[in-house]
Structure 1
Amino acid sequence: MSEQARLNGNGSAGTPQTGRVLPFTIPARSARGRVARLGPALAAILGAHDYPAPLCQLLGEALILTVLIGTTVQKGEGQTTVQAQSKGGPIDLLVCDYRAGEIRGYLRFDPERLGEITPGALLPDLFGAGYLAITIEQSAADERYQGIVPLEGDTLCHAVEHYFTDSEQVPTLVRGALRQAEDGAWEAGGLLVQHLPHGETGGPRLAARTDNQDWEHVLALASTITDAELTDSHLSEETLLWRLFNEDEVRVSPPIGLTRGCRCTVQHFREVLGRFPAEELAEMRGPTGTIDVNCEFCSRLFPIEMRD
């Protein structure tokens, strides 16, 4: 199905799904959005690292945001990367990326400052002063765009809202939530809603105005979303949207499936290493003659044999 379908009460229940993004629009309100559930991909990513619960919470939120942004701006086989980097906090780097339904991510922290990373810690406590960079690469057109904003707000969701308001001039609401079940498994969901610039439909550009009645209406409804609803895998994305926006016509597009997709292969690493001069490759070799490459995303070590 390539066309949007109308959401209605009779067909809103849907089948509860995990690991997918459901795009939607509210035409009468000039709004668009995404609702996402990470599903098994989240367990696969977190399972590759021995992160404490607060770091799992942070990385899960970052993965949700990357998916919401990536499926909004990305086309084709390009890549969207969300990176938070800082100085002064126990976490100095967080990187996630999205490409054609595949997600991956990791973070780096100071083990000696692990005691500072407590449940409920706010963004300034985790990162100190830092910045958020969102990079969009459209491979087909060989185009690359990057927006950088300070890490401001209590959560990464707040920082992303600042990004869209300051860098893109698009009023945006972003919500992300994670829940750890009794068996230790994590469930995650997120919602992104944006007001489309009127310039895209022939009217004056909306810019960052917040006094628009249509946007105020959508914002008020979207703000009622709860963490429990976002993380309830038995509540379908269609039902969630119906609960929020049943006063208006909502059109949904075909869902986008999500999987964990790390591109760490021996062939890929050989291609990258093949760009180095022979003398540099010689310096990289270990006692066994291989070059050991560590993939931070999946926490695996690859011994690569390179011929002279």
Structure 2
Amino acid sequence: MTDNIDIDRSLGFTIAARNARGRLVRLGPVLESIISAHAYPPAIEKLLAEALVLTALLGATLKDDSGQMTLQAQTEGGPIDLLVCDYRGGELRGYIKFDAERLAEMPVNPTLFALFGKGYLAITFDQVATGERYQGIVPLEGATLADAAESYFAQSEQIPSLIRIGVTRDEHGCVAGGLMLQHLAEGEEGRDRIHTRLDHPEWEHVAILGSTIKIEELAQRDLPLETIVWRLFNEETEVRLLGGASLTKGCRCDVVHIRDVLSKFPAEERANMADDTGKIGVDCAFCSRIFAIPVAELENAGETTK
């Protein structure tokens, strides 16, 4: 496999004359590593790939590397019980909990409503440096997660947005890419963003150009992200690239941390948690690993800390 400089990477850009900003993301080996930890059927694999791309697009807007962005979808009536992904400092993780029997009754390409039923999308930004936390919740409406995210920005942020996501699978594994364009009001600080549509009709021009992106381009491994920006906006007076950022798998399960947490439980409770072999099994839903911690090690750890 040849080097792909734009796999597992994001790229930001601005179009100052149009008061617009954009971001591109493409995931390859990182995506494959996350989904291969689970035996997901095709429909769930594709949905999680879309969710991880969306998480990367939104998370990359964080200015603080220690901050975290979490995307969560919960449902009422669909075979999916929970979808959760998060982003922190370029690290991605995510998983989907679903009812396999109910999913098997669905068509090959189920709709978003069929998968989720009556559900909602929650997007949470945690700014660790300032201690600020913001969450927006919108109904899961539209044909795709991208549609639901556009509704989030329209309803919660009053920011006109365009989001497109493409997913495919080739001989190297799953690959997915996404584009997000947003209108930013000139001098928007201290003013209501709801007026952006009236103040800057050129947003429609940017959105029309962005809509010409082909889904297969977003998920094309050997197509540089900079080339996509040029194809879409080469007739603009100035398009400023903001530089790219690498994306990695970021499951944060840690044996030392798990032992520390378990050691804080009373000895009787730890004994009740243990199986017949004297070990406590701790399951990480994100990476599908089970950590078997011997109770005897916890007892020894507790004695050394006294």
TM-score with structure 1 length normalisation?
0.89
Match of 2:276 in 1: 287
8 A contact 2:66–2:128 mirrored in 1: yes
1:156-202 CA distance string (max 9 Å, x none): 10110000110111111111110112x37211100001001334368
8 A contact 2:59–2:69 mirrored in 1: yes
Shift of 1:273: 2.9
1:207 aligns to 2:194 (yes or no): yes
Match of 1:238 in 2: 226
> Identity over the aligned pairs, expressed in percent?
53
Match of 2:108 in 1: 119
8 A contact 1:197–1:207 mirrored in 2: no
8 A contact 2:26–2:178 mirrored in 1: yes
Q: 1:280 to 1:168 in 2, by over 3 A?
A: farther
Distance 1:277 1:32 in 2: 53
**What residue identity is the alignment partner of 1:102?**
E
DSSP 3-state at the match of 1:141: coil
Counterparts of 1:65-104 in structure 2, within 5 Å, are 65-104=54-93
| Poorly superposed stretches of 4+, deviation over 4 Å | none
1:108-161 CA distance string (max 9 Å, x none): 110111223433321101010111111111222222221111111111101100
Q: 1:74 to 1:118 in 2, by over 3 A?
A: farther
Q: 1:275 to 1:244 in 2, by over 3 A?
A: farther
Task: Please point out which of 51, 55, 58 is paired with 2:47.
Answer: 58
DSSP 3-state at the match of 1:133: strand
Match of 1:110 in 2: 99
Match of 1:264 in 2: 253
Q: Compare relative contact order (CA 8 Å, sep 6+) and give the higher one, 1 or 2.
A: 1
Distance 2:247 2:207 in 1: 27
DSSP 3-state at the match of 2:54: helix
Distance 2:157 2:174 in 1: 32
Distance 1:180 1:262 in 2: 23
Shift of 1:96: 0.6
Distance 1:53 1:163 in 2: 26
Shift of 1:92: 1.1
1:13-43 CA distance string (max 9 Å, x none): xx85211000111111111111000121011
8 A contact 1:34–1:193 mirrored in 2: yes
DSSP 3-state at the match of 1:69: helix
8 A contact 1:193–1:222 mirrored in 2: yes
Root mean square deviation of aligned Cα: 1.8
Match of 2:150 in 1: 161
Match of 1:247 in 2: 235
TM-score with structure 2 length normalisation?
0.90
Shift of 1:234: 1.2
**What residue identity is the alignment partner of 1:302?**
F
